[in-house]
Chains A and B, each alone.
Chain A
């Protein structure tokens, strides 16, 4: 098992280096530079442009800039935002809990609904339940998040008035940031109604963010279950007269879960992409919204280090998923 973990960790090094190159070049490939955007309609003289570029460190050759960036990374320095002038890591850490809270909620919703729906659709293959749920999943998967979010806001917040429109908690509540997780902080604050308010603010954005992963998980669970249910050992278990709940719950589901767990792990990347739009619609102060703003302003340090941090996160989650298979399936860890 130790060798298995070590080999997985070794893979991370070249992947991480590759990501630094992509993150660094991505924002520089985009046309437009931060000094021009800052000056706007007013314009900037070439001297002032050179002066500002030098101050920002963008007068050096690109390769030098990359090695500077890498060198600072080695010391744990992710650079400072061009706009707020604050360390990128500080800003990331301040906004990260909001994204994690939203992402966790979304993945829980997606898993808790997606897996049972998938299992049921597989068992009742061809039934109306199967047809309806899988069609709905297809629609959910193809849903443009921006439009879907706005639609839910207009219906549930605008027309019905059941949920708040946006934000993380009602503005009436004001308490210090302890963990950064609003659900926990609102409980810690001891203020009456704070937790309920935070929870009600979380519902719509997490449903929106959960939509695509939910559809993927449901479909993946269904096909994995169908495959497993056709296996010899399941037929044998049935033939032995085992109760159907045990056949499905123990023999089929456990084996079908391996591809499903992979899918759930891969959804973390999808969630990060979805968070960018979801956070923008729901004014959710997380890293997705932060990245969008920074790309628009060509805030190079934020975009490159932000991408890097997000990619590192996805990598770590995928590593954990790999390790989880090792636990579930001994054949994998011994390979």
Chain B
């Protein structure tokens, strides 16, 4: 009987779909699950956190600016350790076959959503055996959050162990999506806790309808959405992992929009009269990190000389096919506090040669590590390394290119005393400069388990970052980060390569799509012309 009912509702839905406006997105990967908290992949968040859920704060569309969402407003105590959130009233939870909400969103949901991640003894912490909360842990939430208290149904107070300026941006990230406590109770009573990860219930613009593994995800417009209702009635993700096939589907009209085109296809897309291409500077950086603890790379003059020996524009042209900005700072120009006054080291092999001689370096041999995989900030590390190798040979430096399997590469490149300079990069999580500078270049992250692959520890630089992190005033923070970038350029722990451009090809019929600097794909504002 139940099967019959499902069947009937599916029939009704497919009949309705023929007339309704359906937006098809050719997504690049299957979601790992539909609960955003345990996962880290962007493709998973596009399928869960963005269409189905909301967070207390969110990023304003197309920016990294934090705006109110489920929290309508907030107060921060003078010492910056207490955040009191005033929650939005009248926000309806979605429903499905297993769950019909009896109440609106409230403070219990907020506390539940955070505590299940942070408290190891929480009944929902391990609701699926082996589940972990990687973002919550890596954003240092367990160390940061002292307590979360319910003041009343619509007021929640977060007490922090120390002031943390990026906190509001951190909680706008997908892992901090708010899930329903009432739904959790219903699932627990039914003995099907794992459905929290299979059949998501949120407050977002779209309702989850069905997922056929590795093939299709279906959503429907949420009729009770508290914000501006989506324009399309149905949203479909057609999972298509191969970039060339995605493009063919887009051309054939089988989908309206696709992520991550192959760099080689960009020109053809631009030439196609039925397609259009949105582009934006990505919130990323690709770099070559020297091991600043090993001679002669512990000498800033040597690092600077090497930086001057490499032709950056040639790399941007050959490897990125022009789809990138040459990088001079460790943070991208789309990020606030980017110090545009800084001059990049000029490409000058002659001067570089002289500087090396002055530093007493002759017949230098070094290794360049090239990643085995393509990443958003680096389309081809091997080719980049080859260009560097060629340039370095002109100043008498003999470079050898090495590579490892990706997991090994990440681990080995963090081993102290590492031999060689490493090509790697970073894509921002939340638009805060701290998310680049502290994670990649602070003294704290130079040790085991960190991500400072230059092992560069500059006390002045780290002090500026600490100060900026505990200061609430944006103008002061901006000035501190600008000073930090000056130290970075002067000390040259990295050769900054490029900030790659992100492209989103779509059908001409699509309007209203807004590219996110964070690389999110959201569809609540899209429309399709008939």
Question: A31: which B residues are within 8 A, CB to CB?
Answer: 404-405, 407-408
A75 at the interface (CB under 8 A from B): no
Kindly list chain B residues whose C-beta atoms are within 8 Å of the C-beta of A56.
130
Is the C-beta of B138 less than 8 angstroms from some C-beta in chain A? yes
Q: Which of B210, B213, B414, B425 contacts A43 (CB 8 A)?
A: B414
**Known contacts A157-B248, A175-B7; 11 further A-B pairs (Cβ under 8 A):** A31-B405, A43-B449, A46-B448, A56-B130, A94-B213, A161-B252, A171-B236, A172-B14, A283-B239, A285-B212, A285-B239
Query: Residue on A with the closest CB to B38?
Result: A85
Query: Any chain B CB within 8 A of the CB of A191?
Result: yes
Partner of A175, one of B14, B408, B411: B14
Q: Report the stretch among A132-140, A162-170, A313-321 that lies at the interface.
A: A162-170
CA distance A49 to B126 in the complex (A): 18
Given A32-B407, A168-B215, A175-B7, are A289 and B241 also a contact pair (CB < 8 Å)? yes
A36 pairs with B251, CB closer than 8 A: no
Chain B contact residues, majority secondary structure: mixed
On chain A, the number of residues with a Cβ less than 8 Å from chain B's Cβ atoms is 62
A171 to B237 alpha-carbon distance, docked (Å): 9
Q: Which 3 A-B pairs have the closest CB atoms?
A: A32-B407, A45-B449, A285-B214
With A165-B254, A176-B7, A290-B214 as contacts: A39 and B244 at CB distance below 8 Å = no
- CB atoms of A153 and B404 under 8 A apart: no
Q: Are A84 and B33 in contact (CB under 8 A)?
A: yes
Compute how far the CA of A282 lies from the CA of B239 in the bound complex, rounded to whole angstroms. 10
- CB-CB < 8 A to A34: which residues of B? 407
Return the contact of A32 from the options B33, B252, B405 (Cβ within 8 A): B405
Q: Is the CB of A281 within 8 A of B134?
A: no
Could you give 15 example pairs across A and B, Cβ below 8 Å? A32-B408, A37-B410, A38-B134, A41-B451, A46-B448, A85-B129, A85-B130, A91-B213, A95-B214, A157-B252, A161-B252, A166-B248, A166-B254, A167-B254, A282-B245
Residues of A within 8 A of B (CB): 30-34, 36-49, 52, 55-56, 80, 82-86, 91, 94-95, 150, 153-154, 157-158, 161, 164-168, 171-178, 189, 191, 280-283, 285-286, 289-290, 293, 298
Complex: chain A residue closest to B371, CB-CB? A41
- Mask, B241-285, CB within 8 Å of A = 1, is 110110011011010000000000000000000000000000000
Contact check, A167 vs B40: say whether CB atoms are below 8 A apart: no
CB distance from A191 to the nearest CB of B (A): 6
- A175 and B10 contact, Cβ closer than 8 Å, known pairs A55-B132, A153-B248, A165-B248: yes
**Contact between chains at B249 and A165 (CB < 8 Å):** yes
Given contacts A43-B451, A45-B449, contact A285 B10 (CB under 8 A): no
Q: Are A52 and B132 in contact (CB under 8 A)?
A: yes
